[in-house]
Structure 1
Amino acid sequence: MGATEKLAACLAKYRGVVGKVVDFDAANDRLFALDLTAANTELDPDMVADTEAFTIYINKKLAGSNCRYAIGGYMEHRTIYARSAHFDTEDEPRRLHLGVDIWGDAGTPVYSPLAGIVHSFRDNDNFGDYGPTIILQHTLDGGILYSLYGHLSRSSLKGLATGQPIAPTQQIATLGRADENGHWPPHLHFQLMLDIDDAKGDYPGVGKFSEKDTLLNNIPDPALILKFSGIGTTAF
Structure 2
Amino acid sequence: MNKHILLANYIKSHPTEVGKVVDYNAETDLLYPFDFTAANTGLTAEDIEDTNRFSAWVEKKLVGNNCRYGVGGYMEHRTIYARSVHFNTEDEPRRLHLGVDIWAGAGTLVYAPLAGHIHSFRDNNNHGDYGPTIILQHNLDGLELYSLYGHLSRKDLAGLHAGMKIEKGQQLGAFGNQEDNGHWPPHLHFQLMFNIEDCAGDYPGVAKFSEKEKWVKNIPDPNIVLQFPNPE
Q: The TM-score by the shorter chain falls in which range?
A: over 0.9
What is the CA-CA distance between 1:7 and the residue it aligns to?
Answer: 1.9
1:230 deviation in Å?
Answer: 6.6
User: In 2, Cα distance between the equivalents of 1:25 and 1:67?
Assistant: 12
Tell me, in whole angstroms, the C-alpha distance in 2 between the residues paired with 1:78 and 1:221.
17
For the structure 1 residues 90 and 3, does the alpha-carbon distance in structure 2 shift closer, same or farther, using more than 3 Å as the test?
A: farther
Q: Shift in Å at residue 16 of structure 1?
A: 1.7
- Would you say how many aligned residue pairs link Structure 1 and Structure 2? 232
> 1:223 & 1:148 partners in 2: Cα distance?
14
**Quick one: distance in 2 between partners of 1:5 and 1:130?**
29
Q: Tell me how far apart the structure 1 counterparts of residues 223 and 120 of structure 2 sit (CA, whole Å).
A: 23
Give 1:10 shift.
3.0
Cα distance between partner residues in 1 of 2:39 and 2:230: 23
* Deviation by residue 1:36-68 (Cα, 9 ceiling, x = unmatched): 000000011111010000000000001000010
Query: Do residues 145 (structure 1) and 145 (structure 2) align?
Result: yes
How far, CA to CA, are the matches of 2:214 and 2:202 in structure 1?
Answer: 19
Percentage of identical aligned residues: 61
Q: Is the 8 A contact 1:116 1:167 kept in 2?
A: yes
Instruction: Tell me the secondary structure at the aligned position of residue 28 of structure 1.
Output: coil
Show the counterpart of 1:207: 207
Aligned to 1:22: 22
SS in 2 for 1:213: helix
Q: What is the rounded CA distance, in whole Å, between the counterparts of 2:124 and 2:12 in structure 1? A: 34
Residue 172, structure 1, aligned to residue 172, structure 2: yes
Map 1:1-236 onto structure 2 (within 5 A).
4-229=4-229, 231=231, 233=232
- Measure the CA separation in 1 of the matches of 2:7 and 2:142: 12
Give CA deviations for 1:134-160 in whole Å, capped at 9, x if unaligned.
000000111210000000000110111
Q: State the alpha-carbon separation in 2 of the partners of residues 79 and 116 from structure 1.
A: 34
Structure-1-length-normalised TM-score: 0.96
* Counterpart contact for 1:19–1:113, Cα < 8 Å: yes
SS at match of 1:62: helix
Q: 1:5: Cα distance to partner?
A: 3.4
Distance 1:190 1:120 in 2: 15
Matches of 1:3 and 1:10, distance apart in 2: 10
Cα deviation for residue 8 of structure 1 reads 1.0
CA spacing shift, 1:91–1:2, aligned 2, 3 Å: farther
Shift of 1:228: 1.2
**Which whole-Å CA distance do the structure 2 matches of 1:68 and 1:132 have between them?**
23
1:3 to partner: Cα distance: 5.2
Q: Is the 8 A contact 2:7 2:143 kept in 1?
A: no
Task: Please tell me whether the aligned partners of residues 26 and 230 of structure 1 are also in contact (alpha carbons under 8 angstroms).
Answer: no
Distance 1:6 1:50 in 2: 42
**Counterpart amino acid of residue 217 in structure 1:** K
